[in-house]
Amino acid sequence: MELVFQKEWLKEFIPNKHKVLEYWREHRYLDDIIDICKITKECKILDVGCGLSTVLHFVEGKKFGVDPLADEYLKLYKYPEEVKIKKGFSEYLPFPNAYFDAVFCSNALDHVTNPKKTINEISRVLKKEGNFVLTVEIFKAKTKRDPAHPHSFLLKDVLNLLRSEFKTIFEGTSDWIGIRRYVKGVRKSSRTELIIIAKKKSEGKSETGAFN
């Protein structure tokens, strides 16, 4: 299901990258994220569940993406040269401990098999005091969705998932329009998107990994 969606979305994304950047700035606080996380060209940045239209297009740094469908995406799309994409799962990130300065997970946590293990893995690969940027749709009540979205998170669910590993330092909401709908001209939604910046509480142990 996701691959079919991404193939169709790619046709719209390529000529509309400026609108995707606009969405990130207006609805996902990108300028605040860059400022709070102090993202520069020297930072190592990871996007978990990166997809094709990853935020890595719009930030500086040494940039890495991981996605279960990465091999298929690499056949479809030529990512910017400085963006390294690797096949992998959020519960078993193929990177060493304490490797990244910042990790993004955008509209992906409700897709994963094990959200708690995903959060633990993100904490593991973050440096001491590293920042986690989470974007996720939140619901007012538990909702049965579809196989591609096995989870419907309440605000308290998200905060509980983060609590043991992270301290929230920024929390914002916006209309959950969705990037593709925004590109098509939709500007309002009754659904809600949560954007959190959370700082890692503890330090992991460094080790050698696949990326250097």
pLDDT score, position 203: 52
Q: Is residue 56 part of a domain?
A: no
How far, in Å, CA of 159 to CA of 138, rounded? 11
Domain holding 91, by residue range, is 64-99
pLDDT of 104 above 70: yes
Residue partners of 179: CB distance under 8 A and separation at least 6: 20, 23, 53
Angle at which helices 155-163 and 115-125 pack, to 10 degrees? 40
25 belongs to a structural domain: yes
> 115 φ, ψ to 5°?
-60, -40
Residues 38 and 181: beta-carbon distance below 8 Å: no
Q: Is the pLDDT of residue 212 over 50?
A: no
Give the torsion sign (CA, 197, 55, 7, 87): negative
| Nearest-angstrom CA–CA distance, 207 and 184 | 45
Given a cut of 90, whether residue 148 has pLDDT beyond it is: no
Q: Is residue 80 part of a domain?
A: yes
* CA dist., res. 196 & res. 122, Å (int): 14
- Cβ atoms within 10 Å of 41's Cβ, excluding its own: 9
Let me know if residue 15 belongs to a domain: yes
Instruction: Say yes or no: 5 and 38 in one domain.
Output: yes
Asked if the structure places residue 1 within a domain, the reply is: yes
On whether the CB atoms of residues 130 and 104 are closer than 8 A, the answer is: no
Phi, psi torsion values for 183, nearest 5 degrees: -60, -35
Residue 28 DSSP code:
S
Domain count within the chain: 2
Q: Quickly state the pLDDT bin for 9 (edges 50, 70, 90).
A: very high
Q: What is the mean pLDDT of residues 54-83?
A: 97
Q: Give domain status of residue 113, yes or no.
A: no
Average pLDDT over residues 15-25: 98
Indicate the residue among 78, 99, 120 that finishes a domain.
99
Together in a domain, 37 and 74:
no
Residue 56: helix, strand or coil by DSSP? helix
For residue 153, being part of any structural domain is answered with: no
Non-local (6+) Cβ contacts of 210 within 8 A are: 86, 94, 95
Residue 57, domain member (yes or no): no
